[in-house]
Amino acid sequence: MGAERVPDHPRQPGDGWVDCACGHRHWGLHGAAGLLLVRRSPDGTPTDVVLQHRAAWSHHGGTWGLPGGARQPDESAEQAALREAHEEAGIDAAAVGVRDSWVLQHPDWSYTTVIADELAPIVPAVTDAESDEVRWVPLDEIDSLPLLPAFADSWPILRARLAPAPG
């Protein structure tokens, strides 16, 4: 199914590849950002996060990662992450509370993970051709999924940042 779909949105000013001095190509002329949306138990313990199963045609297609993408000129990482999560997963920015961020810095590019809590019930959904599936994933199931390589590398650091919410 995913291999048959193609992008359904016009090219934006931040779309494009960066040939980084690290030896890799990265998407996003101004960097990229994604939303790590967390669901918590009543005591504040993180239980689930929203993940995107990337469409087969996409870079690292078939893997799981965060809804996210290229930052646009003059767009903050938080704005980009919330915009992309809305575009790719139908997540309403008014239903999330941003609490933290973490930057993966490369010589010529960066990716910012914006960590946010679910403030009102959110039902993520596939809202564009970049996803085959978007859903809440229990924390203890994440390591069993085929993860986007950069997300797999960052997941231990990100998971540690999901400490229980204060109060």
The rounded distance, in Å, linking the Cα atoms of 150 and 161 is 17
Sorted by where each starts, the structural domains of the chain and their CATH numbers stand as 11-158 (3.90.79.10)
Contact 70, 32 (CB under 8 A): yes
Task: Please give the chain's pLDDT, 167 residues, in tens.
Answer: 334 444 556 677 777 675 767 777 756 666 789 999 999 999 999 999 999 998 877 777 789 999 988 788 889 999 999 998 999 899 999 999 999 998 876 677 678 899 999 999 999 999 888 889 999 999 999 999 999 888 998 999 999 999 876 65
Contact 39, 47 (CB under 8 A): yes
CB hemisphere CA count around 24 (13 angstroms): 12
The rounded distance, in Å, linking the Cα atoms of 66 and 116 is 12
Q: Which amino acid is at 124?
A: P
